[in-house]
Amino acid sequence: MSETSWTQRLFGGFAKTSERLTANLPGAAGGSAKLDNATLDDLEDALIMSDLGPAAAARIRAKLSEKRFGLEITTRELREAVAEEIAAILRPVAKPLEITAFPRPQVILVIGVNGSGKTTTIAKLAHLFQEDDYGVLLAAGDTFRAAAIGQLATWAGRIGVDLVRGPEGGDPAAIVFDAVKQATDTGIDALIVDTAGRLQNKKELMEELAKIRRVLGRLNAEAPHDVVLVLDATNGQNALSQIDVFKEVAGVTGLIMTKLDGTARGGVLVAAAEQYGLPIHAIGVGEKMEDLRPFDPDLVARVIAGVA
């Protein structure tokens, strides 16, 4: 996908988010407004309504107040100023998921609640690596759901990568052990492991992930190299509570946010960056294979603020 078409996909995908934000900005009807306390109050409210979160909204308000308080500002200038402050929050967390492990493979555990788009994201991530000429192996570690195994097998066949799998209800750690051994023996670059997404029993999930980590440690002391949490943007602020839980049970090292094309809550990306500072590796704006791409903070900031 060209950069132009990806930009167009983002503007289309984030349309509901940017419309919600810009419709509530002071002076949205056009013209200009004086950047006084009342205007700043309206701006802060608009940012919170767009799921950027109270902390990010307060930070953006403070920065604009510091730079422009008392001055006239047009709607266009306000959007551009908001975009710049959003970008300042997002830039420190923009970090592509890179294959750097030596010896190979780089082991990437992918976690997230059922329904977050986790399994589809694994396939898209594998495809991204393939585009950079890396060899990829998948492991179906979510043995709790037969549907998850079947879905991952379908995707693996579609993109042409091998899948290590076991029976429904099997031991995920045993599957991961076999997958790491196969990846090591064949010198594959990346091993992406699907994991259970159930949160009803945190203790059980924590024990399962701890067991997987122990098994990995026996074969590769550095593994897992990445623990990536997949978040569904349509959950808005509820996605942040998932970060809290998974940080506790799994030691999350980075985030991928999906389904940004179906929500007015895309601002939650900014809230996550401000509140947690975890790397954001990639974002997804659709179901197609090319609809997951590395996270570009300046582009996303412009898209959220509606600055073409």
Ranges under pLDDT 70 in the chain: 1-2, 27-31, 199-201
For residues 290, 197, 162, 178, the Cα torsion angle rounded to the nearest 10 degrees is 150
- Per-domain residue ranges of the chain: 3-93, 106-295
pLDDT score for 151: 92
Q: What is the pLDDT of residues 257-267, one digit of tens each?
A: 998 887 778 89
Helix (H) or strand (E) holding 229: strand 226-232
Strand partners, 256: 230, 282
From CA 202, how far away is CA 8, in angstroms rounded?
40
pLDDT score for 188: 97
Phi-psi region for residue 21, left (φ > 0), alpha (ψ -120 to 50) or beta? Answer: alpha
In 3D space, the residue among 170, 256, 185, 265 whose CA is nearest the CA of residue 220 turns out to be: 185
Ordered DSSP codes for 66-120:
HHHTTSEEEHHHHHHHHHHHHHHHHGGGB-------SSSPEEEEEE--TTSSHHH
From CA 179, how far away is CA 140, in angstroms rounded?
9
pLDDT score for 1: 56
pLDDT score for 29: 55
Q: 106-295: which CATH topology?
A: Rossmann fold (3.40.50)
From CA 249, how far away is CA 269, in angstroms rounded?
22
Compute the residue count for the chain: 308
C-beta separation of 166 from 179 below 8 A: no
pLDDT score for 283: 95
The class of domain 3-93 in CATH terms is mainly alpha
Q: What is the pLDDT of residues 35-76, one digit of tens each?
A: 999 999 999 999 999 899 999 999 999 999 999 999 999 889
pLDDT score for 65: 95
R_g (Cα) of the chain, nearest Å:
21
In 3D space, the residue among 47, 3, 51, 9 whose CA is nearest the CA of residue 231 turns out to be: 51
Task: Give the pairing type, strands 226-232 and 106-111.
Answer: parallel
pLDDT score for 243: 93
Name the residue with tokens 């990445």.
Answer: 226
